Structure 1
Amino acid sequence: MKLGIYTAVLFLSFSSFCFSQEDVEKPAPPAGNALVGDFYGADISTATINNAISVDKLEDKLKESSKIENIAVKGEVTGVCPKKGCWVSVKTDGGSSFFVKMKDYAFFVPTAAKGKNVVLEGSVERKVTSVEELKHYAKDAKKSKAEIDAITMPKEEIRFMASGIKVVN
């Protein structure tokens, strides 16, 4: 009897280790229309929204310091991770974009945020992103194999770590 119980417990313990992360279904981005006033992560106060800087000023500030903590930036979302909503890209005034990750992977945004104006609160830095990481994000964005294979050089870019994102006018 005891042998049967021990065998069952051992089997259940072993089988739980046999499932990989890929076997577990990954969640989709949250539902929602990303309407003005909606926020993801920490809510952003009206005072912070009113004092948010534009993206062109952010680029100027990053010329003075490679990393800035506790900053609020206003911009337009140009892309959202279609897998989970775990990152967004925001358009710069010069026409390029910068990458935004969610602090501690604590929240996600709906794909409906694309094209919306937002205020981001968090920290920002200039960073060199590895080829491996760039390919990972391209795969998440459902780029073609040819586009992914074309990534062969690391890229220096602006990286924002958001503690909160709020949709604004």
Structure 2
Amino acid sequence: MKRLSIYAFTLFISFSTLSFSQENVEKPAPPAGNALIGDYYGTDVSGDVVNKAISVKKLESELKSTKRAEGVAVKGEVTNVCEKRGCWITLKTEDGSSFFVKMKDYAFFVPTALKGKNVVLEGSVEKKVTSVDELKHYAKDAKKSKAEIDAINSPKEEIRFLANGIKVVN
């Protein structure tokens, strides 16, 4: 009888410890803000960098000779923002090209209010093949329909930008 009560007590303590140790951790929401002209996220993008922004066509030609380019600046309109945390954006440039942007080391996030705003990005860029799983993940983050997500069935070669800083401009 004494053994049974010891086992029951041990089981109770183990169950209690496991129950209380499981935290329900929520991911942080994107930062609040209106994304006004002059606001920046990550490192500040100076006026010199804004003036050195290059076109995606020039960027693509650079990426033919090298896999990765550092210290690149690109200007464009934000067409989509991760609604969960603001951890990625898509950017449409003046020449109509568009590409995917992540924040370097997830060191900063952007508000959803950035959508539709003109920005200058500064960071590194590379041409990369994105897996089907990753493409579906981003489509879910962007709240695409199930049909759109299910239609993703092959990897995609694309330009990927890793931003050190993003600045809202005119």
Matches within 5 A, 1:4-43: 14-15=18-19, 17-19=21-23, 23-43=24-44
- What is the aligned partner in structure 1 of residue 169 from structure 2? 168
Deviations 1:8-36 (A, max 9, x none): 996675345534xxx42222211111111
Deviation of the 1:98 alpha carbon: 0.4
In the alignment, structure 1 residue 119 sits paired with structure 2 residue 120: yes
**SS state at 2:74 partner:** strand
* CA distance in 2: counterparts of 1:13 and 1:69, whole angstroms: 49
Matches within 5 A, 1:55-94: 55-94=56-95
Give ranges in structure 1 of 5+ residues lacking alignment: 1-5
* Most deviating of 92-101 and 156-165: 92-101
Q: Which has the larger radius of gyration?
A: 2
TM-score, with length taken from structure 2: 0.85
* Most deviating of 133-142 and 109-118: 109-118
> Kindly tell me: are residues 16 and 129 of structure 1, through their superposed partners in 2, closer, same or farther at Cα, counting changes over 3 Å?
farther
* CA distance in 1: counterparts of 2:146 and 2:82, whole angstroms: 17
- What is the aligned partner in structure 2 of residue 128 from structure 1? 129
- What is the aligned partner in structure 1 of residue 156 from structure 2? 155
What is the root-mean-square deviation in Å for CA atoms of aligned residues?
A: 2.2
TM-score, with length taken from structure 1: 0.85
Give ranges in structure 2 of 5+ residues lacking alignment: 1-9
What amino acid is the match of 2:61?
A: D
Deviations 1:40-79 (A, max 9, x none): 0111111111222233322232233221011111111111
